[in-house]
C-alpha cells in the first residue's frame, strides 16, 4: 500500500511539473529575435524599441518619460464609482480617452499642458496596432524603467478603445484640499491614503510646466533623473522661497532654489492621515519602490476587466539600480524639517557637502 501511495504521489508531482512547464513554455515571436510566454505580447517588443529610440532619447529618464508617466495618471483617474452608482457615466478609467478625445480632455483645467505628450505619442499609436489605452500605460511603464531606482511596473495588455470622453473634475488639482484629494482617489478605485502617498512617488521624476508658466520644467525634487526618496525628504523641509514668481495657484514655498513645491504635496506631507506614511518613505527605497509598483498596478487597470487581459510585464525593461543615498541637500539638516508624523522621529540623514543646492530645470 505504501508503495502504491508513493507511486501515486510521484505520478501526481510529475503531472504537475509537466503542466507547469506547459504553462511557462515560451513562443518564438515573428521578429525572430524575441520570445514570450503569450504570443499576444510579441507585438509589444517593436513598440518598446520604437519608444526607447524615438521618444525616450535612447532610453533616458528625461522629460518625455516624466510626461508619459503623468499621462498614465491623467487617463486612468477619470473614473467615478459614485457616478456609476447613480446611473451616470463616470468615465472609462485607463481607456485612452484622453488621447482619443484630446480636444475635450486636454482642455480640462487639471490637464493643461498634457496635450504636448498626447500629440507626441499620437504617431506611435498610429503606426502600431495598439489601442490608446494600452499604449498610454505601456509607454509609462517602459519610460519609468529608464529611471535608476524605479520598479519594473506590471503591464496588462488588452484595453478596448474608449468610446466617450471622461467627465471633467475627475483629476485632482494641486490646490485641492487633502479631504478632496483623498475622496477623489477613493471614488476612483478605492485607493487608501497610503496608496495615494505611494502614487505620489511619481513626483520624484516629475516637473511642472504650467503651475508657473514663466519657468517650465521645474522639478519637484533635486534629483529628477533618479527614482529616489529625495521627493519625500524635500517636501518636509521648511519652505523659504519660490523658484519663479509668487502667487501661483497650487504652489507654496519650497526649500531649494529652482525646486517647485505643490500645495497638495505639502499638505499631504503634513496631514495626520498621511504624514507618517509620507515620512516612512524617507530613506526607504525598497518600500517606496514596491508601494509605487503595487499602486500603479491598481491605477493602470481602473475601469478594465483584468480577466480579459494578458500579462505582458516581461516586455518592460529592467530598470537600473538606485543611485546614491538619501540625504539633505547641501546647507540643510534635520533642523529644517517640519516634523509632521507624531509617531516616529524624522530619520537622521547626512547632508551633502558644498554650497547650497540649486536645482536645474529639466
Kindly list the catalytic residues.
74
For 180-192, b/e burial (b = at least 16 CB within 10 A) is ebbebbbbbbebe
- Tell the residue number behind the cell numbers 467627465, with chain if given: 167
d(Cα 233, Cα 269) in Å, to the nearest integer? 10
Handedness of CA 194, 195, 198, 199 (dihedral sign): negative
d(Cα 65, Cα 57) in Å, to the nearest integer? 10
Q: Could you tell me if 333 and 351 are in contact, meaning their C-beta atoms sit under 8 angstroms apart?
A: yes
d(Cα 340, Cα 302) in Å, to the nearest integer? 32
CA 128 to each of CA 45, 49, 92, 174, 313: distance values in angstroms, whole numbers, following the listed order: 11, 12, 22, 35, 18
* Chain centroid to CA 252: 23
Q: Cell triple for residue 122?
A: 499620437
CA atoms within 13 A on the CB side of 165: 14
Q: Supply the DSSP string of 189-231, one letter for each residue.
A: H---HHHHHHHGGGGGG-EESSSSTTS-SEESSS-TTS-STHH
Amino acid at each position: 500500500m505504501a508503495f502504491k501511495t508513493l507511486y501515486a504521489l510521484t505520478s501526481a508531482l510529475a503531472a504537475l511539473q509537466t503542466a507547469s512547464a506547459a504553462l511557462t513554455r515560451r513562443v518564438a515571436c515573428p521578429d525572430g529575435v524575441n520570445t514570450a510566454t503569450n504570443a499576444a505580447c510579441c507585438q509589444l517588443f517593436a513598440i518598446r524599441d520604437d519608444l526607447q529610440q524615438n521618444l525616450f532619447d535612447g532610453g533616458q529618464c528625461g522629460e518625455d518619460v516624466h510626461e508619459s508617466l503623468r499621462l498614465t495618471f491623467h487617463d486612468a483617474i477619470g473614473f467615478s464609482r459614485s457616478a456609476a452608482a447613480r446611473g451616470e457615466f463616470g468615465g472609462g478609467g485607463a481607456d485612452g480617452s484622453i488621447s482619443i478625445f484630446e480636444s475635450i480632455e486636454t482642455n480640462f483645467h487639471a490637464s493643461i499642458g498634457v496635450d504636448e505628450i498626447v500629440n507626441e505619442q499620437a504617431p506611435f499609436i498610429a503606426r502600431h496596432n495598439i489601442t490608446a489605452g494600452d499604449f498610454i500605460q505601456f509607454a509609462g511603464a517602459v519610460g519609468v524603467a529608464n529611471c535608476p531606482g524605479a520598479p519594473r511596473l506590471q503591464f496588462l495588455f488588452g484595453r478596448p478603445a474608449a468610446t466617450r470622453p471622461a467627465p471633467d473634475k475627475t483629476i485632482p488639482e494641486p490646490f485641492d484640499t487633502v479631504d478632496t484629494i483623498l475622496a477623489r482617489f477613493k471614488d476612483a478605485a478605492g485607493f487608501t491614503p497610503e496608496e495615494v502617498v505611494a502614487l505620489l512617488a511619481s513626483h520624484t521624476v516629475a516637473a511642472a510646466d504650467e503651475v508657473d508658466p514663466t519657468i517650465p520644467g521645474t522639478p519637484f525634487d533635486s534629483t529628477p533623473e533618479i527614482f529616489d526618496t529625495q521627493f519625500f525628504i524635500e517636501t518636509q523641509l521648511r519652505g523659504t522661497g519660490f523658484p519663479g514668481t509668487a502667487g501661483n495657484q497650487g504652489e507654496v514655498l519650497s526649500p531649494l532654489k529652482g525646486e517647485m513645491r505643490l500645495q497638495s504635496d505639502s499638505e499631504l506631507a503634513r496631514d495626520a492621515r498621511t504624514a507618517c506614511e509620507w515620512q516612512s518613505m524617507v530613506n526607504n527605497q525598497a518600500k517606496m519602490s514596491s508601494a509605487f509598483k503595487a499602486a500603479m498596478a491598481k491605477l493602470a487597470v481602473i475601469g478594465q476587466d483584468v480577466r480579459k487581459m494578458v500579462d505582458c510585464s516581461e516586455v518592460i525593461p529592467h530598470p537600473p539600480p538606485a543611485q546614491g543615498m538619501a540625504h539633505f541637500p547641501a546647507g540643510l539638516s534635520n533642523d529644517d524639517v517640519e516634523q509632521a508624523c507624531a509617531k516616529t522621529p524624522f530619520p537622521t540623514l547626512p547632508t551633502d557637502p558644498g554650497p547650497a543646492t540649486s536645482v536645474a530645470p529639466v
